[in-house]
Amino acid sequence: MLLVVAISVDSQFTHLAWLNTPREQGGLGKIQIPLLSDLTHQISKDYGVFLQDVGHAL
């Protein structure tokens, strides 16, 4: 089985705001995949997408 998830370094509060904002207004709207939070940045670092100098992922 293949599982697709979205991961960001933002908090669950930011994720909630994204999900509650329609795509036409710059949010995500309703999505069909889980949205995970990487607050420690470890997952982003493990995949080589964390930009240390600016403090966020690609």
Q: How many independent structural domains does the chain possess?
A: 1
- 28 part of a folded domain: yes
* Residue 14 falls inside a structural domain: yes
CA 31 vs CA 19, 20, 23, 47, 51: distances in Å: 8, 10, 10, 23, 26
Q: What are 1-52's pLDDT values in tens digits?
A: 999 999 999 999 999 999 999 999 999 999 999 999 999 999 999 999 999 8
Q: Quick one: DSSP state of residue 25?
A: G
1 is a domain residue:
no
Range of the domain at 38: 6-57
Q: Note the pTM of the prediction, 2 decimals.
A: 0.74
